[in-house]
Every structure is written in C-alpha cells, then in structure tokens.
A and B are shown apart, each in its own frame.
Chain A
C-alpha cells in the first residue's frame, strides 16, 4: 500500500526553528508538495520538490531525498501566524496525489 507518515503534532517557540518530517512509501514518485492549512481554512501551497536537495523560499525551506523516501519542511524565525497544520503530499507513478494526515504545529510565545 501507499503510505505517508508525518508527526501528528509538534510544539515550538516563537523565533525558533522547527523541522517537520515526512516519510513516504509510494508506487513511484513524481514530486512532493507541502501545504499549509490554518484551522478552519483551505490548504495553501508552500513548496514543491522533485529533485534531491534543498529549496529555500524566505523563512521556509523544503528538502527532499528520493533514495530515502524522505522530506522535511524547515521553518525559521517562527511567528505566531505559523501555527497551522502542514500537509505533505506525494505524486505517485499514476500522477495521483497521496496525502499525509498533516502535522499540527503549535507556536508558543
């Protein structure tokens, strides 16, 4: 079967750095997305990785290792508004999106 694993919940402090991991086992791989979802709102696109390595976008970076079936989202200089769920999704060999259950990130002052 296809599987995406993310921690259910994480807590971090305002101003700090947090890394949210995502491991996957899918039939094929055609890219990995990270989305942010604030409570009661729609998911919004953060990043896309298809090649190994780190993609940086302001305070957010996303890393991919295809050989390890592993990605992480790195959030720097955390702000209270970063409190949200972060969803990992993998595009499989049939170009179908397989979604993780999401990681709820709680930011404390």
Chain B
C-alpha cells in the first residue's frame, strides 16, 4: 500500500476557528490532492499540488488554502471553519507517467464543525 498518512483522523471544531489537516507521504510522488466526500456527491477536488510550492485550485476551493513546502507534506487549512465544511477529507497522491497513474488515498479525516 502507498505510504500516506493523514492527521488527525477525527476532529471536532467550532464555527469560526481555523483548522489545519496534514497529509504526509513516503512515496516521493509529485502530485498530491485534497478531496472532500459528502453523501450523495462524488469526491470533489479542493486543491492539488504538482510540486513543492506549486499548487492550484480545484472545483470547491472557496474557504480553503493549501501549502506544500516539502515533497512529502501537503497541508489543508480552513481559515474560518463553517458548518458546510463538515465532511470527510481525503488526501491522495499520484505519479503521472506510471502506467495508469491511479490515485492512492489516505485513510481520511472526519471533520465536524459545530
């Protein structure tokens, strides 16, 4: 299995507080992604990174920011959490150029905003 660790696994926070989720990989893959998963929706891309300090927005980026200062770490920050950001967040990695370039996912972070 791809070495991807997300922390924390669970978090409860209050509306208006900042929250940072961490994704750490040991595969040296160039691409890293943050998705959210909500009932009735497909996985939705928040932000992705194609290299150190190279990031771009996904389809649901409002209210989120990211940083990638090292190949292995990709941080997702909710600047001021809202109840609509209650979700399960998945980090994923891929290395384009490999056969089919599938995504490999971390185990997810369940975030509840009260």
B12 at the interface (CB under 8 A from A): no
User: Which A residues have a C-beta under 8 Å from some C-beta of B?
Assistant: 4, 31, 33, 41-45, 48, 87, 89, 96-102
A42 x B42 contact (CB < 8 A): no
A41 to chain B, nearest CB (A): 7
User: Which B residues have a C-beta under 8 Å from some C-beta of A?
Assistant: 40-45, 90, 100, 102-108
Closest B residue to A96 using CB positions: B45
B residues in contact with A33, CB < 8 Å: 100, 102-103
10 additional A-B pairs beyond A42-B106, A101-B40, beta carbons within 8 Å, are A4-B42, A33-B100, A41-B108, A43-B90, A45-B104, A48-B100, A89-B43, A97-B43, A97-B45, A99-B44
Given A31-B100, A48-B100, residue A43 in contact with residue B105 (CB < 8 A): yes
